[in-house]
Structure 1
Amino acid sequence: GFDPDRVSELDFKSLVHPEDWPGLRQAFKDAVTSPGKQMPAVRARINNAGGQCREMEGTFTSMLRVPGVTGVVLSLRDLTQLKAAQSELHRLAFFDPLTGLANRQLFRDRLNGVVHRSRRSGEPAALMYLDLDGFKRINDTLGHDAGDELLKQVAEWLRGCVREEDSVARLGGDEFVVLLSRVSGTEAAGKVAETILRRLCQRVRLNDHDVGVTVSIGVTMIPHDSEDVGTLMKYADLAMYRAKEMGRNNYQFFTPAMNIKAARRMLQQEELMTALQEDRFVLHYQPKVDLVSQKVIGVEAFLRWHHPEKGLVPAQQFINLADETGLIIRLGEQAFRQACIQVQALERAGFESLKMAVNFSVRQITDTGFLDLIRRVVTETGVAADRIELELPAELLNEDPRMLRELLVALNDLGVCLILDDFGKGSCSLVALQQLPLDVIKIDHGFIRDIPYNVSATDVASAVIALAHKLHLTVVAEGVETMQQLAFLKSAGCAQSQGNLFSYPLDEDALIGFLIRQYEKPLIS
């Protein structure tokens, strides 16, 4: 960029980076003393006419005895773009492009280095595996752009929670890892985990929505738990899943028992997949009674696994695993289809007015294909939509209000009955109760169980029934097992009830027999 006619006026030293000037000068001296010899390449940072630093590489050639030259020639080529390209390739190979954190490959290299150092010195280190709670739901409801913004924010928060010598990496999706290169012990590692929980447990604004963020953390100690990089990653992951099982938004240290549990979990997951393929799941049905007419007005479907060795396995023993692994989507469709077919079987048997209630988890309901699933199965089975009741878990009210309202309105337009299950369990928005197109609420069986011996339980049940009446909602009490409970519910104005007092969940044949008998004699005497 310089004027060739004014090269002789340039102060070469001022153009060369101070650190590179000695080497450049020495290379010149070597060339002067070695006429005609090919000199090694030399690199230097040299400013151009605009004052910008360029990465240069070249060689000196002594041509002092060459007529017309009589000097030392320096030939340079500009490596700036090549160096930038190499730097970008390095960044892409070892850093996450979204957050700028180290990626899986670079992190494993760093973890390997810390393991070797810890093994030699005996000084402990700690590995943490972090997973954002409910991130998939944010992606599905607010879009991937909002999810990306959240991940970048989380990366910044994590950087601020650790020391400069520690490492933070993103493994993919919403999975992060933190490597504490030196810690005094488990107590110090726990304090860092608590710092991360406090920092990340807050609300962020994404696409005009306030979103709550929490994280589950698994911690494994180096070298106490293992000196193998792959094993340490596995142990931290197992501890993180334990944190999720303990209610999320907490941290757990790895214990050997987790390894045994993980092996059992993998075996059960394989068994679940096989059972799905072999259609080993059946439905049992618990009658629901109208407390005024004392007649059965519907049934609730309960899923059972027909295990070849254990017999009938209740849903409580496998439904959480199915939900966590995603198998719940296929399993839920299978169960819903079976329930719709059973409605038609009951009609052919002469029970034309009974309704069928089917339970769904938050993961199923927030799946993008849930509405299409309900429409498709209702259409394919030919069941009347008003004979179907969808039981929705109370924690669903913590989801994005706009998304939830759109979904429930669409389901309501389809003609199905919407039941809010386990009301009173956990936090529940009364505003949502008023704004959403719900038809029925079910009082959580935990309150029913303590009636009439627990005054608090009876007060809550009475308040829920009164509130439901104000909102023009039908109230169902589940888990009724004693005549005292039943007497209280009738006096409080509860409309419907179900529980072992009336009947345990029955298979298809037993249900038909029960329905025939209840027409001959009242259920409540």
Structure 2
Amino acid sequence: MLSSLSVRARVGVSVAAMVLPLLALSATAVTALEGTLDRFADTADEAVEEALPLARLQTLVIQVERRGLSAILEPSPTAGADYQAARRQLQEAFGDLEGSELTEEGELVTTASARAEDAVRLLDAVLDRSAPTDGPSSAAVPQLSAIERSTEAALRALEEAEQLASADIVEEYQIAQQVQRRAVLWIVAVVLVGLVLAAAGGLHLTRVVLTPLRTLREAARRLGEGMLSHRVALPRRDEFGELGSAFNAMAGDLERSQAELTHHALHDAVTGLPNRVLLADRIRQALARSSRRGTQVALLLIDLDGFKAVNDTLGHTAGDEVLRSVADRLRLCLRPEDTAARLGGDEFAVLAEGETSAQVLGIGERILSCLRPAFVHDDRELFLTASIGIAFAVPGQDGAGEDLLRHADLAMYRAKAGGKDDLCVFDPTMHDVVEDRLRMSNELRGALDRGELALHYQPIYSIKGEPLVAVEALMRWNHPTRGAVPPSEFIPLAEANGVITTLGTWALDEACGQLRQWHDTVGTGAAGELQVSVNLSARQLADDGLADLVARTLARHDIAPHRLILEITESMMIHDVEATIRRLRELRDLGVQLAVDDFGTGYSSLGYLRQFPIDRIKIDKSFVDQLGTSQGRALAEGIINLAHSLALEPIAEGIEHEYQLAALDDLGCQLGQGYHFARPESPETITRRLAGQVQPAFTEAPA
């Protein structure tokens, strides 16, 4: 029955079970103690009522005797009056005792009263016969002796009565002490019973309250230690039972939330594939199994070719949709025991165990094949390929898991550099290449201060053979031990380590300074209107202070703004389009001319060309190389016509043969550059060219 009560009711019952008996026993003890106190009060009252009157009577008897003898021996009105006053007091005192509750003492008091009256009567008689002045006669002497005897008899009776009264008081006191001892025993009994009840109540409260509290505390401790599967066993129907149920529900919610958080922490949010953290754990487990079984572990690192263009042109929503489709295709072309993971961005990985090298290469080929078909987004077909790097683990070596990822990454970049849509197996010599690139990157940081960098200039001529129109500034690195390092090698390193901004600022200042020097030394003619073209990096274009930098550089060298051409690539145009347009307009407002380099190789569209404030487009060498074919000629013609329709001036790059020059002239392209005219030259050579000492080569490039 108690189990169905609430904790409050059960605690109330426990407290009542302790308190009510204590109250009853305490009331009994208090009553007994009050009786003891009353008995002591009664005893004290009796002592006052019995002992004091008897003592007073003795005093009055002696006083009457003395005053009577005084009145007899020394007669005077005053002595007589005193005697009479004492006599009346004695009579009144005996009269007061007649109504008192004297028992055994009463007879003695009556005897004492009679003897006292005898003494008084004798005294009265002697006083009546005595002359006022002569004193007592000889006949009164016997009577004085009788008075003394009567007085002594009265005093003895009163003393005996007083002794009896004292004996009664002592007896009453002893009875009161017995009552007191019984009251003390009651109080001790109450204390003992209270202790027993308190102990019993404490045990009951412990079972009712403290035990479930300890259970809940232990459950909370385990929950805090991460044991989310622990549950509280409290099969009760009170508040603790409800609290236990609520605790179990909370633990269940936390366990589910923890499971969800763990899943999110180990899986990619877009594709649902394992992420880099889970892949690393799977690699560790696979390596441990391979050590025991002697099997091979392979990692295929997949990078999507062309995905960045999808993200930049169609947005992240389309990009996420493509990533999910890639994940679905990977699941379909892999075995259940293989692990497919997304590492981030457009990088995926596949972990394969127990396969031979040939089988792993087969997996890579299947992945390439399943990614080649078009991806569809909003009824639009998107074609992507993949570059795959493959690495095999060496079990038992420290850091084998990290090495596997690093080796696969190196192989993937080799596959991408080899033309994309291909796979490459890691070779130990790739390490040497990476270490060499790292050394070169560090050396590049100090190359400018060491004077190892210089600008060469490639002439831009009119295709019809007119004088030199412009020069393009091209950076060269003369390394003390490596020799001439091609720009295709060190420019990507500069962009990766961030030094490209410093190099770009230096190149802009150096080119403008050289243009001023040519103007001052050569004078009029071609040098007077010569333009210089400088390439901008993506980091420079992203800098809000670019226009101010260009304005200060032009002012420092006293260069007319229209003589400076700044070149950007198509890929730079599609990043943060609004900000890019704003910065280009700031440059255009200065009077600087803007050109798009390597046009046709990127992802710009007619819409982009119309939005951007550009003046020229430079036709990429790959289109010029195909001018000998009908398809190549048609592509070049389309680009040139597009430029003319947008009022842009086309410039052909990489002209190396006479037939290319003739074809470009027929298609309406008026400006060009390439080995057919001249290679990039030192400033001194350009100076002689401007002075007419060096003419365009107009020779065929070597086959």
- Same fold, judged at TM 0.5 (above): yes
Spell out, residue by residue over 1:151-181, the C-alpha distance to the aligned partner (whole angstroms, 9 max, x if none): 6665565455544433233445554332123
Q: CA deviation at 1:297?
A: 1.9
Which of 277, 284, 296 is matched with 1:112 structurally? 284
Letter in 2 for 1:113: Q
Tell me the equivalent position of 2:425.
Answer: 253
State yes or no: 1:186 paired with 2:358. yes
Tell me the distance in 2 between the aligned counterparts of 1:471 and 1:60. Answer: 82
Tell me if structure 2 keeps the 8 A contact 1:126–1:189: no
CA contact (8 A) 1:465 1:494 kept: yes
Q: 2:563 — aligned with what?
A: 387
Percent sequence identity over aligned pairs: 37
| Residue of structure 2 in register with 1:290 after alignment | 462
Which of these residues, 681, 687, 690, is aligned with residue 506 of structure 1?
A: 681
Assess if the C-alpha contact under 8 Å between 1:161 and 1:192 holds in 2. Answer: no
Deviation of 1:389 after TM superposition, in Å, equals 1.9
- 8 Å Cα contact 1:161-1:196 kept in structure 2: no
Q: Secondary structure at the match of 1:179?
A: strand
- What do you get for the CA RMSD once the two structures are aligned? 4.9
2:615 paired residue number: 439
The 8 Å contact of residues 128 and 217 in structure 1, kept in 2 or not, is answered as yes
Counterpart CA distance in 1 for 2:678 and 2:541 is: 35
| Correspondence for 1:198 | 370
- Superposition deviation, residue 112 in structure 1: 1.8
Matches within 5 A, 1:419-498: 419-423=595-599, 437-446=613-622, 465=640, 468-469=643-644, 471-481=646-656, 486=661, 489-490=664-665, 493-498=668-673
State the one-letter code of the partner of 2:651: V
Matches within 5 A, 1:116-135: 116-133=288-305
The residue aligned with 2:391 is: 220
Relative to 1, partners in 2 of residues 1:225 and 1:120: Cα closer, same or farther, differing over 3 Å? closer
Q: Is the 8 A contact 2:546 2:583 kept in 1?
A: no
* Aligned: 1:307 with 2:479: yes
Distance 1:474 1:292, change over 3 A: same
1:80-95 map, 5 Å: 80-84=252-256, 86-87=258-259, 90-91=262-263, 94-95=266-267
- CA deviations on 1:34-69 (whole Å, 9 max, x unpaired) are xxxx9xx9xxxxxxxxxxxx96634699xxxxxxxx
Residues 1:94 and 1:339: Cα distance change in structure 2 (over 3 Å): same
Higher strand share: 1
- Which amino acid in the other structure matches residue 221 of structure 1? F
Match for residue 417 of structure 1?
Answer: 593
2:183 is aligned to none
Q: Distance in 1 between matches of 2:624 and 2:322?
A: 41
Distance in 2 between the 1:132 and 1:110 partners?
A: 23
Greater helix share, structure number: 2
Cα distance in 2 between the residues matched to 1:369 and 1:442: 18
The residue identity in structure 1 corresponding to 2:282 is: R
Tell me: CA distance 1:107–1:200, structure 2 relative to 1, closer, same or farther (3 Å).
farther
Would you say the 8 A contact 2:542–2:580 is kept in 1?
no
Displacement of 1:502 in angstroms is: 4.0
Partner of 1:275, secondary structure, is: coil
Aligned amino acid, residue 80 of structure 1: G
TM-score, reference length from structure 2: 0.53
Q: Give the Å deviation of 1:110.
A: 1.4
TM-score, normalised via structure 1 length: 0.68
Unaligned runs of 5+ in 1: 7-37, 42-53, 62-74
1:358 equivalent to 2:529? Answer: no
CA distance in structure 2 between the partners assigned to 1:486 and 1:56 by the alignment: 83
Helix, strand or coil: the match of 2:284? Answer: helix
| Cα distance change of structure 1 residues 182 and 441 upon mapping to structure 2, 3 Å threshold | same
* Aligned counterparts of 1:410 and 1:271: Cα–Cα separation in 2: 35
- Aligned 8 A contact 2:311 2:318 in 1: yes
Between the aligned partners of 2:614 and 2:584, the Cα distance in structure 1 is: 8
Deviation of the 1:244 alpha carbon: 2.0
Q: CA deviation at 1:393?
A: 4.0
- Residue 295 (structure 1) shift: 1.6
Tell me the distance in 2 between the aligned counterparts of 1:166 and 1:348: 70
Verify the 8 A CA contact 2:478 2:484 in the aligned structure 1: yes
In 2, distance between residues paired with 1:454 and 1:137?
A: 28
| Alpha-carbon distance, 1:515 to partner | 1.3
Aligned residue for 2:529, secondary structure, equals coil
Counterpart contact for 1:465–1:492, Cα < 8 Å:
yes
